[in-house]
Each structure stands twice: as structure tokens, then as C-alpha cells.
Copies of this chain bind each other. A is one copy, B any other.
Amino acid sequence: MVISMRGDATEDQIQGVIKRLSELKLDAHRSTGLNRTIIGAIGDVSAVDTRDFELLEGVDEVIRISAPYKLASRQFKPDNTEIVVKNVVIGSREVVIAAGPCSVESREQIEKIAATVAASGAKILRGGAFKPRTSPYSFQGLEEEGLKLMRQAADKHGLAVVSEVMDASQIDAMLDYVDIMQVGARNMQNFTLLKRLSKVDRPVLIKRGLSATIEELLMSAEYVISGGNRKVILCERGIRTFETYTRNTMDICAIPIVHKLSHLPIWADPSHGTGIRDKVLPMGRAAIAAGADGLIVEVHHDPAHALSDGAQSLYPEQFDELMRELNIIARAIGRSIGDIS
């Protein structure tokens, strides 16, 4: 942390800052320049509120130098984190694709979709069982029965399972069925939930919140890792901007940024990131071209009658086309998509 004093700060004001630092057990490093004095604070500043110093007399600006996360940073762990889930390694050279419906609707539906996405090369089946929705008047999910149906369909086709946990009370039930626990964008800063997931032996996929900075996304990962669970996957799924043509603006650049700042794998969700089917292919390709370690994509055999998010679900043949394109793009940057060739 660096504290820049105003040009007209008095010696008393400078001493005031140094005294406050020593109360917090931080060492002060003083540099006196031509126009102003700068004080560097050395020590553990992770729990310091920089605003407390901004308000001291004579202070011009306070800057936190070190990122507030540690365990999630690439400085802490230079090598990529690789996470083994069934027969894939997330965060490796291989790009991993999860696909499936927004919601599990019936045995027949999930079985049909699992078969088709597996045939196209997906390794993980996605599907929601708990579906609280923006409108209190919409379909709310099959709950545990949905998880059971998804597990059976996945096993039949050699797929792993990823599904969203909405509340800490659902964790235990989900452990019986799910290989990756997904934390939705709205829960990215639900610290109660994150703490509970940090005690579970199961990878956690954290989606970026609609108005979350990349630093905040990494802080959420820090919560889980600091509690003991190192298997964290991040996911870009669109942020809110003034552009209204699509629901969200996918921040594709978050992918190379996360790769620079952190050792954790990062995926992209072009279905929620765009909200509309005909943009899923181009944005899925863009994410892989930018270096994403995987995608999570909504696919439905009959989107027009899907109980939720049909508008952003791909038809099976579109998903198959996407997989063929991604295969070429992945190879252009020295990666691959499983056994497709």
C-alpha cells in the first residue's frame, strides 16, 4: 500500500499517517520527493480499508499495490491448475466442452440431449435442477429428481455432470449426483455459500457476476481456496453495459486477463453471455480463439418448447457445427478438443 501525501502536507500530518500504520503493525517506508512525500506500507495489508487512510489529514491518495487475493494469483502458483473430472483434465492443453439444457425437464429430454452432445464431443453434461427465476410466475425446476435423471443420462454416455447450487442447504443432496458444483452469477458474492463449498471435495465453477470486476471474481475464488478447496474453475458469462441489443456484453478479454493474473482455468458461457441463439456460435468461437479452457453451452433438441431459456439454446446440429469449428480454432493456437479430429 502506498500513501501519497498532499504537496502541502505538514510534518505532523506525515507523522499521523506513520503512527496509524504502526497501530496496524505495518512498517512505514518514507520517500521524500521534490513535490511531495510518499509513504510505503510494508506488511499484511489484506484486511486494511484504504479509505481509512484517504480520510487522514494531508493525505492525497492511497493505492493498494498488492492484489487483495493471494492463493488465486499466478505469483503464488506459477503453473496452471489442472483439475481432473472423470476422464478430462480442465486447465490442460485440452479444451473441455460442457453442454446440455438450461433445465432438466424429463427423463426423455435429458437422455436425448445427453446422447447428442456426447456424440458431438462434449465431455460434460450441464443442466439445472433448481431454477429460481427473475419472474415469480415462471417454471422453477425439478429439484432432486432432476439431478437423478441427469446423472443417469450422463453415466449412460460417459459424461461428467455440472449443475448449479443455489443455496448452501442443497449441497449435501447434490454431492450424490454432481461432479462440478456451479455457482451462478448472482451468487458470486454469496460468501455463506462459497465458504460451505470450500469444505467440499468437489470442483467449483464460479460464474462472474453481472457487475463484478475480474478482481472480485478472483476474490470469490480466494474464498473457496482459502477454505481448503483448490479446485476452482472461473467462467465469463457477460457483464452489464449500456449496450442493450443483447442482455449482456461478453467480456472476452477477461479470458487472457485471468490467464495472466491467475493459475486457475477460465471457461466462457456464450449462451448466457449473449442470451440469443444466433450469437452463441460466433461468441463460442471467439472465446476459444482468445484462449478459454472450456465452454458451457446450452443445447436443446426442441428449443421452441424448452421450459426455460429456449431462445439461447442451440439445436443439436448447430452444436455439432460449433464443435467442428472449435476443433480447428483450438489447433490454431496449439490446443485440442479431446478426441475430435
Q: How far is A278 from B138 in the complex, measured between Cα atoms in Å?
A: 35
Q: Are A251 and B243 in contact, CB atoms less than 8 angstroms apart? A: yes
Q: Which residues of B contact A8 (CB under 8 A)?
A: 75
Q: How far is A34 from B27 in the complex, measured between Cα atoms in Å?
A: 10
Q: Give A residues with C-beta under 8 Å from B.
A: 2, 4, 6-8, 27, 29, 31, 33-36, 38, 40, 42-43, 46-47, 49, 51-52, 54-55, 60-61, 63, 65-66, 68, 75, 132-138, 166-169, 186-187, 189-192, 195, 209-211, 213-216, 219, 222-223, 226-227, 239-246, 249-257, 260, 273-279, 282-283, 285-291, 304, 309-312, 325, 328-329, 331-333
Q: How far is A29 from B290 in the complex, measured between Cα atoms in Å?
A: 38
Q: How far is A48 from B243 in the complex, measured between Cα atoms in Å?
A: 22
A32 → chain B, closest Cβ, in Å? 9
Q: Are B279 and A285 in contact, CB atoms less than 8 angstroms apart? A: no
Q: Which residues of B contact A54 (CB under 8 A)?
A: 276, 311
Q: In the complex this chain forms, how many copies of it are found?
A: 4
Closest to A3 in B: B65
Q: Are B287 and A245 in contact, CB atoms less than 8 angstroms apart? A: no
Q: Are A285 and B33 in contact, CB atoms less than 8 angstroms apart? A: no
Q: Are B245 and A242 in contact, CB atoms less than 8 angstroms apart? A: no
Q: Are A36 and B289 in contact, CB atoms less than 8 angstroms apart? A: no
Q: How far is A242 from B54 in the complex, measured between Cα atoms in Å?
A: 21
Q: Are B75 and A6 in contact, CB atoms less than 8 angstroms apart? A: yes
Our pick among B190, B226, B240 for the contact of A136 (Cβ within 8 Å) is B226
Q: Are B251 and A241 in contact, CB atoms less than 8 angstroms apart? A: yes
Q: Are A211 and B189 in contact, CB atoms less than 8 angstroms apart? A: no
Q: Are B244 and A257 in contact, CB atoms less than 8 angstroms apart? A: no
A204 → chain B, closest Cβ, in Å? 14
Closest to A76 in B: B7
Q: How far is A285 from B331 in the complex, measured between Cα atoms in Å?
A: 13
Q: How far is A186 from B190 in the complex, measured between Cα atoms in Å?
A: 8
Q: How far is A135 from B75 in the complex, measured between Cα atoms in Å?
A: 19
Q: Which residues of B contact A168 (CB under 8 A)?
A: 167
Q: Which residues of B contact A210 (CB under 8 A)?
A: 211
Q: Are B241 and A256 in contact, CB atoms less than 8 angstroms apart? A: no
Q: How far is A210 from B191 in the complex, measured between Cα atoms in Å?
A: 16
The answer to whether residues A282 and B311 also contact, given A192-B132, A239-B243, A329-B329 and a CB cut-off of 8 A, is no
Closest to A189 in B: B186
Q: How far is A14 from B245 in the complex, measured between Cα atoms in Å?
A: 23
Q: Which residues of B contact A282 (CB under 8 A)?
A: 252-253, 255-256, 289-291
